[in-house]
């Protein structure tokens, strides 16, 4: 079964080709450089870039997969959640392709893609976690963490989803970008914050850290720590970082009036990035551990989303899984950020279980659903 999958949910134009769960090709055209100077994704710019690139990305994905258009059995595409005018580009392309090839259309929830990204089989015919059949991972608890979503999901079987907790405002990934902006680190913030945190750890291990940096007050509140439920909120942490950075700068100014060796912003920012990551992880950990206790029949812990690129997050979640006797599933690095490979995987399961497959004759009725929920 050959699946052609498309994702234009935000700022990545991606097309993938799968043979069942085996990803034959996954091509991503990133728009990071286009949005960098604006400090975030600009919807109109994203839409224009998708329109310019999707045809080229499609041809490249088909070429790398070594197939022809006539070999495609299903056309899958993200219909939500995501940026409305960005989703539209991928959906229109998929509808045209489905109609022209007279192949079934598979509308996919973007978050389902993140949920099943870890079940991919690589070109060597292997799944990193050793998963042979999807039923091996159920029941599962999933932590999906990205720029727009932070959710804990419980699932007994494919298509049966219960959202145990979700963000009430800013998502975890969004907080990373906003804190990076506060620290003048540019966009996107996640990779830079992680890099600087790594530098702090190296400085500590090598003894190169300025002792004055350790004396600075960098205590940050763990968001929703005592809320009692499983929901998240990162807007308060962002605000706390804004005021904390202001206080640190004032404190550094006072220190530098007396110190022989002046403290530079580059000295203390590394530690601040490390502290911010640890507090963010603690917020995720508290709710996740509660969820595991609420659902003791869970067999697996699945993680997905762009924030999973942060190795501190993955290590902590892996440890939580081990401590609770759960199988731990994390996607390969290439399937952690937005990509069409994961959309193809979700589509594979939809076809396998006969869920939400649309005849090519009625694809014109399909539309974007920007706020689509996984439990809808």
Domain at 90, CATH number? 3.30.420.40
Q: Can you give the pLDDT at residue 292?
A: 98
**Model confidence, pTM:** 0.93
362 and 321 in one domain? no
Shared-domain flag, residues 319 and 353: no
Q: Half-sphere exposure (CA, 13 Å, Cβ side) for 56?
A: 9
Asked whether residue 293 falls in the same domain as residue 352, the answer is no
Is the same domain home to 155 and 261? yes
- Asked if residue 168 and residue 96 are part of one domain, the reply reads no
pLDDT in 10s for each residue of the chain, 376 residues:
999 999 999 999 999 999 999 999 999 998 888 888 888 889 899 999 999 999 999 999 999 999 999 999 999 999 999 999 999 999 999 999 999 999 999 999 999 999 999 999 988 888 877 787 777 899 999 999 998 899 999 999 999 999 999 999 999 999 999 999 999 998 888 999 999 999 999 999 998 888 888 889 999 999 999 898 999 999 999 999 999 999 999 999 988 887 766 778 888 999 999 999 999 999 999 999 999 999 999 999 999 999 999 999 999 999 999 999 999 999 999 999 999 999 999 999 999 999 999 999 999 989 999 999 999 8
The torsion region of residue 364 among left (phi > 0), alpha (psi -120 to 50) and beta comes to alpha
Tell me which residue range forms the domain holding 225.
138-331
Quick: pLDDT tens for 21-68.
Answer: 999 999 999 888 888 888 888 989 999 999 999 999 999 999 999 999
Is residue 17, in this structure, part of any structural domain at all?
yes
Is residue 244, in this structure, part of any structural domain at all? yes
Whether 195 and 88 share a structural domain: no
**358 and 277 within one domain:** no
Residues 321 and 290 both lie in one domain: yes
Mean of pLDDT over the chain: 93
Q: Give the residue among 217, 220, 201 at the shortest CA–CA distance from 209.
A: 201
Total domain count, the chain:
2
> What is the predicted pLDDT for the residue at 125?
84
Is 300 contained in some domain?
A: yes
With helix as H, strand as E and coil as C, how does 195-207 read? HHHHHHHHHHHHC
Do 188 and 219 lie in a common domain? yes
Q: What span, in angstroms and rounded, lies between the C-alpha atoms of 352 and 247?
A: 56
User: What distance in Å separates the CA atoms of residue 181 and residue 241, rounded to the nearest whole number?
Assistant: 11
Residue 366 falls inside a structural domain? yes
Residue at 261 is within a domain = yes
349 and 242 both lie in a single domain: no
Report DSSP letters for 285-307, one per residue.
Answer: HHHHHHHHHH-TT--EEEEESGG
Residue 92's contacts (CB-CB under 8 Å, 6 or more residues apart) are: none
Return the pLDDT at 167: 95
What is the rounded CA–CA span in Å between residue 60 and residue 83?
24
Look at residues 146, 164, 170, 230 and name the one whose alpha carbon lies nearest to residue 375. 164
Regarding whether 245 and 160 lie in a shared domain, the answer is yes
Whether 16 is in a domain gets the answer yes
pLDDT, tens digit, 9 for 90 and up, residues 246-265:
999 999 998 888 776 677 88
Compute the distance between CA of residue 344 and CA of residue 340 in angstroms, rounded to an integer: 6
| Among 350, 363, 319, 365, CA closest to 95 | 363
For 295, residues 6+ apart whose C-beta sits below 8 A from its C-beta are 139, 141, 154, 164
191 and 236 share a domain?
Answer: yes
Does residue 133 fall inside a structural domain? no
In a domain, 45, yes or no: yes
């Amino acid at each position: 079964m050959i699946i052609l999958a498309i994702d234009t949910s935000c700022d990545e134009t991606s097309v993938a080709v799968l043979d069942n769960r085996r990803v034959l090709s996954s091509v991503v055209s990133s728009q990071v450089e286009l949005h960098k100077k604006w400090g975030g994704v600009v919807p109109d710019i994203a839409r224009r870039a998708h329109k310019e690139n999707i045809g080229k990305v499609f041809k490249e994905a088909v070429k790398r997969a070594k197939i022809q258009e006539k070999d495609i059995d299903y056309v899958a595409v993200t219909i939500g959640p995501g940026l409305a005018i960005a989703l539209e580009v991928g959906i229109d392309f998929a509808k045209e392709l489905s109609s022209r090839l007279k192949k079934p259309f598979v509308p996919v929830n973007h978050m389902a893609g993140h949920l099943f990204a870890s079940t991919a089989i690589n070109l060597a015919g292997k799944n990193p976690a050793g998963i042979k059949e999807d039923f091996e991972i159920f029941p599962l608890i999933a932590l999906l963490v990205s720029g727009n979503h932070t959710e804990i999901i419980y699932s007994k079987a494919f298509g049966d989803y219960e959202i145990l907790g979700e963000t009430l405002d800013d998502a975890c990934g969004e907080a990373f970008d906003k804190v990076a902006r506060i620290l003048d680190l540019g966009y996107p913030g996640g990779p830079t914050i992680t890099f600087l945190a790594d530098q702090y750890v190296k400085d500590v291990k090598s003894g190169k850290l300025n002792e004055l940096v350790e004396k600075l007050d960098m205590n940050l509140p763990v968001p929703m720590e005592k809320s009692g439920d499983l929901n998240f909120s990162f807007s308060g942490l962002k605000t706390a970082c804004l005021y904390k950075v202001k206080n640190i700068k004032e404190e550094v100014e006072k220190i530098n009036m007396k110190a022989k060796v002046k403290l530079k912003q580059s000295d203390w920012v590394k530690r601040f990035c490390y502290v911010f990551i640890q507090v963010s992880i603690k917020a995720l950990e508290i709710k996740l551990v509660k969820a595991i206790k609420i659902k003791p029949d869970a067999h697996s812990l699945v993680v997905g989303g762009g924030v999973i690129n942060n190795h501190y997050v993955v290590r902590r979640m892996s440890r939580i899984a081990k401590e609770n006797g759960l199988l731990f599933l994390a996607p390969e690095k290439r399937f952690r950020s937005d990509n069409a490979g994961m959309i193809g995987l979700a589509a594979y399961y939809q076809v396998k279980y006969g869920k939400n497959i649309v005849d090519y004759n009625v694809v014109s009725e399909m539309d974007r659903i920007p706020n689509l929920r996984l439990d809808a």
